[in-house]
Structure 1
Amino acid sequence: MLTETTLTEPDTLLTTTGLLIIAVTVGLLIWGRVAPIVAMVVVPVVGALAIGFDLSELQEFFAGGLSSVMNVVVMFIFAIIFFSILSDAGLFDPLIRTLILMTRGRVVLVCIGTVLIGAIAHLDGAGATTFLLTIPALLPLYKALNMSKYLLLLLISLSASIMNMVPWGGPLGRAAAVTEIDPVELYQPLMVVQGIGLVLLLTLATLLGLREIRRIDKGVEAGEFEAVGNIDVHQVADDFTKRQIEARAHVEDKINRNRIVFWLNVLLVAIVLTVMLAGWLPPALTFLIGVAVALPLNFSQAKTQMDQLKEYAPNALMMAAVIISAAVFLGVLNESGMLESIALSLLGVIPAAVGPYLHLIVGAFGVPLDVLTSTDAYYFSVLPLVDATASQFGVPTASTAYALMIGNIIGTFVSPYAPAMWLALGLAGANVGKHIRYSFGIMWAFSIVLLLVAVLVGVVEV
């Protein structure tokens, strides 16, 4: 990462101010009484002005930060719109319905199906959409089989977390903005980790399913549950289809439901993902073209297309606003030399033997840190600080980003700072304390295993 000045010794004023900016910003994000855009803009601006930087320098800091995040911002806006169109088109519904039927009402198969359904539902990278699709669809099946709703939350959360590594997912987008690495370039090595992670999760789901069978059998023996006969999974699947139709009633008379259009949507998704992951076009342009094709394909009238853009805009602009505000925060810390000065100061207190492993140590505590801090605080404060320090020991920026992201991403939906988690709890009628007690240990252990996998396959360098 570039800075305006190259320091050979830490500057006390820059170090102190930088640490105060980070501490106050993180504190405000954890406090939750102000929006991220407020914390990440006001605090660094005040800090920079307080130590003598003028308005022209502040403008340069912002320009430097903005140039590093603009491609990510554009990608987020059009990726969210693209997947929102396909969600309204019901693209993934038939596959989810098929997976529900394939569980056949067997506990272990239901656990495996939950993982697969969660992975498919989270292809758009949006936690809220994932939980809205999966929990109402699967909760009746879990209840009918006397299965724990906390197991449902755990499996969907783990599955969605692994899928959240996609370039248009929040964690990787934030990491790309901080490291100034192209999102697709950052994602490509993660595909191996993601694939292994899903295989490990399916194995874990099988083991948890067997454990759940033993729990249910004990409950039946103790008179807590009634023995369950054959479950009508066709009824469960029909109920899912009915709910999806009702949820999309607002666009039912606008969207093109022709069967040919459905398969054209499938083809469009395949083309967009192939073009983007192959690197033939940058992600921002790829999704922009995808939206330009998907809109008229699914909505025939120009007015309807504009109305839908207005409907999708709030979700798209929310994440864009967070990333752009981070440009101020990162710009001030990077371009002013504060981050470099902090890193030089830390070099004086971190043992030389620990430095090359700093990214692994912080990554291993990623899940607890996600529970204690917000996602924005973790990626925009912890990641740049660890990167600036670890890079002094020869650790590549990408390796630091991978270690912190893999270690942290698994705990996304056990953190009370994740809005989607509260939606999931509400849909399942679950308690946050019980969810954390049930899921936290398993999620943390899984994240450490996945981090070790990343080291073994060479994604994270040691």
Structure 2
Amino acid sequence: MLSILGFSTIILFMFLVMTNRMSAFVAIIISPIIFATIGGFGENLGSMMLEGIQIVAPTAILLLFAVLYFGIMMSAGLFDPISRKILQLAKGDPVKIVIGTAILALLVALDGDGTTSYMIICSALLPIYKKIGINPLVLATISVMALGTVSGMTPWGGAATRAISVLGLDSTEYFTPLIPAIVCGSAWIILTAYVMGRMERKRIGIIHLERINKSMESNNEMAATVADNLPKNFKLIWFNFLLTLALMIALILGLAPLPILFIIGFVIALSVNHPNLKEQKSVIKENASHAVPVVMLVLGAGIFTGILSETKMVDSMASDLLRIVPESLGSFFTIIVGLISLPLSFLMSNDAFFFGALPVLAQSASEYGINPMEIARAGVIGQPLHSMGPTSAPLWVLLELVRRDLGAFQRYALIPVIILSLMLIVFALITGAISIAPR
């Protein structure tokens, strides 16, 4: 019964969003409330929702100040030189631009933080997409694929960290055999980018730009960024670059919690770039229009996750999916875990999947003599799909940056991301990261 309620919640949410019947924020709250009430959990809904909000509150604070910080950086033109250089190399060819997007996204994803990755990628490349006329959903899709593959599977990324800790594994032993599969997955992403670039080239052609080596400061259209209407202070580019670099180093070294780092970074950036009090209020007001929708959606996702977790719908869905595996297929259990991780990662938060479902899967695998290490590797394969699911907080930042809604993005990205995820299972199997257990 709980599984039926859980899957019904997911189906209703996806239907409402992908058919544009409701906004994502409304649908992500209404869907679990309806089926939790049907299941008899109405009396406890308030505490369940609050529990979910408390879990995502630090993430919401992080995203609020990250959006505000990068809003200042973009309005200051920090990433315009990068955009100009990429435009010079690509010479208006969508294929080269999209391949460049994939390479940059894969490199940036190494830092392990989705919000930061998306903001850097969009800051550097979104102006080019606007100038050339490339569909921003291409950028969003490639970014999600790169983040799910690199950040999702490396041991310093959030997903693998959870898998390693909950199963008590050694991070080096986990990661080393997975490197070839990640490299193959990265190559597949670049191939996918080439195909998408060819489609965009066929649609819009090669745009021959005149004098693309001139400073973006003298070309208003080329200088367009996510914060189009804010003035740029090019004199402060070096200061902003060093501040952002210091922020990234502090983030990687874990010198302070991420929300605190971005609060401090925002205060410094605001004070230096906009010392005038009236100007500060204007900048905050301008960027708040981008930050508030993101925070709302993250809090909505917290309510969604809180209800599904506290009602045990998530646990029931995972257990029922496990029961449908025939005992005769026990040798292929690692591959089955990889396949199961795709829908579960898409539907569930990483906490719910790795702390709730993965230990159950690992325990079942032990009955077939399968090492928990392989279950951990199989479990993270679903991260590309998780990165485009409703419980992925950084996704809401990405959608706000490219100005697209969840339904439009998922309709565009679902097939290439599913194909990537299936290929990752193949790559992991071929390279020995996961294996078929002997009978």
Aligned to 2:339: 361
**Would you say 1:125 and 2:85 are equivalent positions?**
no
Q: Which of 146, 149, 152 lines up with 1:162 in the alignment?
A: 146
Cα 1:456/1:262, change in 2 over 3 Å: farther
Report how far residue 377 of structure 1 moved.
Answer: 10
Residue identity in the other structure for 1:274: I
Q: Which of 35, 39, 43 lines up with 2:31 in the alignment?
A: 43
Aligned to 1:24: 12
Report how far residue 18 of structure 1 moved.
Answer: 3.0
Report how far residue 73 of structure 1 moved.
Answer: 1.1
Aligned to 1:78: 65
Counterpart secondary structure, 1:285? helix
How many residues matched?
Answer: 385
Counterpart secondary structure, 1:25? helix
Structure 1: 5+ residue runs without aligned partners? 1-11, 140-148, 220-225, 370-375, 413-417, 425-431
> What is the CA deviation profile of residues 340-385 of structure 1, one whole-angstrom value per residue up to 9, with x for unaligned ones?
233333333233526543442156xx6xx8xxxxxx9934489957
Q: How does 1:215-226 map to 2 (within 5 A)?
A: none
Report how far residue 272 of structure 1 moved.
Answer: 0.8
Cα 1:461/1:89, change in 2 over 3 Å: farther
Structure 2: 5+ residue runs without aligned partners? 110-115, 166-170, 363-371, 391-397
8 Å Cα contact 1:162-1:194 kept in structure 2: no
Q: Distance in 2 between matches of 1:342 and 1:205?
A: 32
Residue identity in the other structure for 2:298: I
Aligned to 2:211: 235
Aligned to 1:341: 316
Q: Distance in 2 between matches of 1:256 and 1:455?
A: 51
Q: Distance in 1 between matches of 2:292 and 2:244?
A: 22
Report how far residue 290 of structure 1 moved.
Answer: 1.0
Q: Distance in 1 between matches of 2:58 and 2:188?
A: 32
> What is the CA deviation profile of residues 66-118 of structure 1, one whole-angstrom value per residue up to 9, with x for unaligned ones?
22211111111111111111111111111221233345789986675565577
Q: Distance in 2 between matches of 1:129 and 1:389?
A: 36
Report how far residue 296 of structure 1 moved.
Answer: 1.2
Cα 1:26/1:102, change in 2 over 3 Å: closer
**Would you say 1:95 and 2:82 are equivalent positions?**
yes
> What is the CA deviation profile of residues 194-252 of structure 1, one whole-angstrom value per residue up to 9, with x for unaligned ones?
9947963796499879x97xxx9xx9xxxxxx9x9xx9866134496511446667322
Structure having the higher Rg: 1
Q: Distance in 2 between matches of 1:89 and 1:53?
A: 50
Aligned Cα root-mean-square deviation (Å): 5.3
Q: Distance in 2 between matches of 1:194 and 1:138?
A: 34
Report how far residue 54 of structure 1 moved.
Answer: 4.7
Report how far residue 34 of structure 1 moved.
Answer: 0.8
> What is the CA deviation profile of residues 403-443 of structure 1, one whole-angstrom value per residue up to 9, with x for unaligned ones?
2223565999xxxxx9689969xxxxxxx9xx97xx99876
Q: Which of 322, 325, 331 lines up with 1:350 in the alignment?
A: 325
Q: How does 1:364-383 map to 2 (within 5 A)?
A: 378-380=346-348
> What is the CA deviation profile of residues 119-173 of structure 1, one whole-angstrom value per residue up to 9, with x for unaligned ones?
799966158766641224446xxxxxxxxx79x9868853574258798xxxx99
Residue identity in the other structure for 2:128: T
8 Å Cα contact 2:240-2:269 kept in structure 1: yes
Cα 1:290/1:340, change in 2 over 3 Å: same
Counterpart secondary structure, 1:235? coil
> What is the CA deviation profile of residues 280-305 of structure 1, one whole-angstrom value per residue up to 9, with x for unaligned ones?
11111111111111111111212211
Aligned to 2:394: none
Counterpart secondary structure, 2:325? coil
Q: Distance in 2 between matches of 1:257 and 1:311?
A: 19
Aligned to 2:281: 306
Q: Which of 293, 298, 303 lines up with 2:268 in the alignment?
A: 293
Q: How does 1:130-279 map to 2 (within 5 A)?
A: 132-138=126-132, 157-158=141-142, 161-162=145-146, 196=183, 200=187, 204=191, 235-238=211-214, 242=219, 243-245=221-223, 250-252=229-231, 256-258=233-235, 261-279=236-254
Residue identity in the other structure for 1:70: A
8 Å Cα contact 2:105-2:143 kept in structure 1: yes
Aligned to 2:56: 69
Q: Distance in 2 between matches of 1:411 and 1:62?
A: 19
> What is the CA deviation profile of residues 177-200 of structure 1, one whole-angstrom value per residue up to 9, with x for unaligned ones?
x99x9xxxx9xx899799947963
8 Å Cα contact 1:406-1:447 kept in structure 2: yes
Q: Distance in 1 between matches of 2:25 and 2:275?
A: 37
Q: Distance in 2 between matches of 1:324 and 1:173?
A: 22
Q: Distance in 2 between matches of 1:379 and 1:166?
A: 20
Cα 1:250/1:52, change in 2 over 3 Å: closer
| Deviates most, 85-94 or 243-252 | 243-252
| Deviates most, 241-250 or 62-71 | 241-250
Q: How does 1:296-445 map to 2 (within 5 A)?
A: 296-352=271-327, 353=330, 356-362=334-340, 378-380=346-348, 388-394=356-362, 402-406=380-384
Residue identity in the other structure for 1:162: A
Q: Distance in 2 between matches of 1:445 and 1:342?
A: 24
Cα 1:320/1:442, change in 2 over 3 Å: closer
8 Å Cα contact 2:102-2:189 kept in structure 1: yes
Report how far residue 458 of structure 1 moved.
Answer: 9.8
| Deviates most, 283-292 or 40-49 | 40-49
Counterpart secondary structure, 1:287? helix
Q: Distance in 1 between matches of 2:144 and 2:349?
A: 24
In the superposition, the TM-score normalised over structure 2's length comes to: 0.66
Residue identity in the other structure for 1:392: V
Residue identity in the other structure for 1:92: F
Aligned to 1:142: none
Report how far residue 386 of structure 1 moved.
Answer: 9.3
Identity %: 20
Aligned to 1:223: none
| Deviates most, 315-324 or 120-129 | 120-129
Q: Distance in 2 between matches of 1:205 and 1:23?
A: 28
Residue identity in the other structure for 1:77: L
Cα 1:131/1:392, change in 2 over 3 Å: same
